[in-house]
């Protein structure tokens, strides 16, 4: 640029480079009494340094603009730069150094007119091209260094494995992250001991053929999950994607993400879920056994009566028949009592079977009042024997819930048994009342409350009671309420425990209405 300015006799020389259709000031040389100064501005702003219109004209037409005396030329004298600096001789050379690079060399002299002669133009053009090229090369080189630096940084990250591969299976280079994943050393890479095809377990090799096919066709491989052998023969689950360097698709780069931790976490989650499911099945079974205990006590109590009645009536019948003369009328009455008692026993057994049947959990319209009625009859005798009074405040008429009968019976039975046990364990001297309420809440859901006047909830908010194995009873299992909750929630409902002022606990559950 200095040579150029001196050679041309310019007081200022400015080189503008055009890239992506934007023009920027690349270099400026000023020659005056103090010497020659060269500046390479950072921001590339140029419009104040040159007559803008003139430069644009030269670039647009691709023609050299030679102005003998700009300050006196009506085309340019109003340009702010020309007017401000009283610019006289001007030369603007558009330069197309190669297909993509465009530049403009601008020379001016403010002291003299007609400084730039036509004859020197060829040489100036050559010098300008050289200047533009060297500047462009310097920039490209800096870009390249920058890009290489960034690639290096990427290569050095320690979370993502990066591998340079070729299609023959060779592993040309790998970053430390990848080497750590697979347990190889840098020497292994350098000795060519790593071959990604051999590192692929046999059952994945068919897949590799497809992968190579995809790379050949599209130049890239979409991310896939697969496995590699580590150096010690163990397996490494990974997510990997690859892309080829160029159209020949012989070499490329692959990004590899270690999935072993995720896979372990998944396996752990699966194991926990399986354990939970087993626990739940066990809990359900245990609960069934508890229920069975109550049922057998109830059957013994309730079925014994009709059975005893049967025996008495049958004996009476036999006696009336054996009498002389046989009392037919009384025999018929005794047989009628036999019929009635056996019908009662059958009914009890039917209801028991219905309760115990492991019916599938299908949602049907279940009259919650009928469920309460039926389940209460299971605990009524026990409650009575413990001096507990039962008060019902049921919704008038049937109240249909969208649930399954036997499962709702389980819930109600558990809550009733808990209430009875709570009051039974309580110190004497308190009124013992078991109150069962049913109705609809403001959102139209079926709500059931089982209230007792026992000692109240063991914890302030009553949430702990629903945790599996939470129990305050010496021989408790702590599973009843956990099961109640899982049943109620399975039907889209809720269950909670609240205080029952002035004394005792309220267990309330909601299920959708039908």
Footprint of ligand ADP (CB under 6 A):
414, 418-419, 422, 452, 454, 457-458, 465, 470-473, 476-482, 505
Min. distance of Cβ 294 from ligand ADP in angstroms? 12
**Closer to ligand ADP by Cβ: residue 311 or 393:** 393
**Closer to ligand ADP by Cβ: residue 51 or 454:** 454
* Interatomic CA distance for residues 289 and 54, integer angstroms: 100
**Closer to ligand ADP by Cβ: residue 90 or 495:** 495
Min. distance of Cβ 200 from ligand ADP in angstroms? 53
218 is written with which tokens? 């599209």
**Closer to ligand ADP by Cβ: residue 7 or 473:** 473
**Closer to ligand ADP by Cβ: residue 231 or 280:** 280
**Closer to ligand ADP by Cβ: residue 25 or 482:** 482
Neighbours of 453 (CB within 10 A): 22
| H helix intervals, 357-430 | 368-385, 405-425
* Interatomic CA distance for residues 246 and 267, integer angstroms: 40
Distances (CA, A) of 245 to 101, 140, 172, 222, 249: 26, 20, 13, 15, 7
Min. distance of Cβ 466 from ligand ADP in angstroms? 7
447 is written with which tokens? 């709500």
Neighbours of 148 (CB within 10 A): 10
Min. distance of Cβ 239 from ligand ADP in angstroms? 45
Min. distance of Cβ 486 from ligand ADP in angstroms? 11
Min. distance of Cβ 276 from ligand ADP in angstroms? 17
| H helix intervals, 386-505 | 405-425, 480-490
Q: Nearest to residue 331, comparing CAs of 344, 314, 343, 309?
A: 314
Min. distance of Cβ 462 from ligand ADP in angstroms? 8
**Closer to ligand ADP by Cβ: residue 439 or 458:** 458
**Closer to ligand ADP by Cβ: residue 70 or 465:** 465
3-class secondary structure, 401: strand
* Interatomic CA distance for residues 77 and 448, integer angstroms: 97
**Closer to ligand ADP by Cβ: residue 124 or 416:** 416
Min. distance of Cβ 479 from ligand ADP in angstroms? 6
Min. distance of Cβ 386 from ligand ADP in angstroms? 14
* Interatomic CA distance for residues 78 and 55, integer angstroms: 15
3-state secondary structure 260-318: HHHHHHHHHHHHHHHHHHHHHHHHHHHHHHHHHHHHHHHHHHHHHHHHHHHHHHHHHHH
Distances (CA, A) of 308 to 311, 336, 382: 5, 15, 20
Greatest alpha-carbon pair distance for the chain in Å reads: 163
**Closer to ligand ADP by Cβ: residue 11 or 290:** 290
Min. distance of Cβ 371 from ligand ADP in angstroms? 18
Contact 426, 433 (CB under 8 A): no
């Amino acid at each position: 640029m200095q040579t150029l300015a001196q050679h041309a006799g310019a007081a200022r020389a400015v080189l503008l480079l055009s890239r992506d259709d934007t023009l920027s000031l690349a270099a400026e040389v000023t020659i005056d009494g103090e010497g020659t100064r060269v500046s390479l501005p950072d921001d590339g702003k140029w419009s104040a340094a040159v007559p803008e219109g003139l430069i644009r004209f030269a670039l647009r037409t691709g023609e050299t603009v030679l102005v003998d005396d700009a300050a006196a030329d009506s085309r340019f004298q109003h340009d702010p730069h020309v007017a401000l600096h009283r610019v006289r001789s001007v030369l603007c050379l558009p330069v197309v150094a190669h297909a993509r690079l465009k530049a403009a060399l601008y020379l001016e002299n403010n002291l003299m007119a007609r400084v730039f002669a036509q004859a020197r133009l060829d040489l100036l053009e050559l010098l300008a091209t050289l200047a533009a090229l060297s500047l462009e090369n310097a920039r490209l080189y800096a870009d390249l260094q920058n890009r290489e630096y960034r690639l290096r940084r990427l290569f050095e990250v320690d979370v993502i494995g990066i591998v340079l591969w070729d299609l023959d299976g060779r592993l040309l280079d790998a970053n430390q992250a990848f080497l750590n994943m697979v347990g190889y050393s840098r020497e292994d890479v350098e000795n060519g001991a790593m071959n990604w095809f051999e590192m692929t377990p046999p059952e994945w090799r068919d897949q590799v053929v497809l992968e190579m096919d995809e790379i050949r066709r599209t130049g890239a491989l979409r991310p896939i999950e697969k496995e590699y052998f580590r150096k010690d023969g163990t397996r490494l689950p990974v997510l990997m994607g690859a892309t080829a360097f160029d159209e020949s698709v012989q070499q490329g780069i692959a990004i590899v993400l270690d999935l072993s931790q995720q896979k372990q976490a998944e396996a752990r989650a699966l194991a926990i879920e399986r354990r939970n499911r087993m626990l739940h099945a066990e809990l359900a079974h245990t609960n069934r056994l508890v229920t069975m205990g109550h049922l057998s006590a109830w059957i013994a109590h309730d079925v014994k009566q009709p059975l005893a009645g049967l025996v008495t009536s049958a004996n009476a019948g036999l006696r009336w028949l054996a009498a002389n003369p046989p009392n037919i009328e009384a025999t018929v009455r005794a047989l009628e009592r036999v019929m009635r008692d056996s019908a009662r026993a059958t009914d009890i057994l039917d209801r028991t079977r219905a309760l115990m049947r492991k019916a599938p959990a299908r949602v049907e319209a279940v009259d919650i009042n009928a469920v309460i009625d039926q389940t209460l009859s299971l605990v009524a005798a026990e409650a009575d024997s413990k001096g507990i009074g039962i008060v019902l405040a049921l919704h008038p008429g049937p109240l249909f819930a969208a649930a399954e009968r036997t499962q709702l019976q389980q819930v109600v039975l558990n809550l009733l048994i808990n209430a009875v046990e709570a009051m039974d364990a309580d110190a004497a001297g308190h009124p013992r009342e078991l109150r069962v309420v049913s109705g609809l809440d403001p959102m139209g859901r079926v709500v059931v409350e089982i209230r007792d006047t026992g000692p109240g909830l063991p914890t302030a908010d009553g949430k702990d009671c629903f945790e599996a194995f939470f129990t305050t009873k010496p021989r408790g299992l702590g599973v009843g309420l956990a099961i109640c909750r899982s049943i109620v929630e399975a039907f889209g409902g809720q269950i909670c425990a609240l205080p029952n002022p002035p004394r005792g606990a309220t267990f309330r559950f909601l299920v959708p209405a039908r």
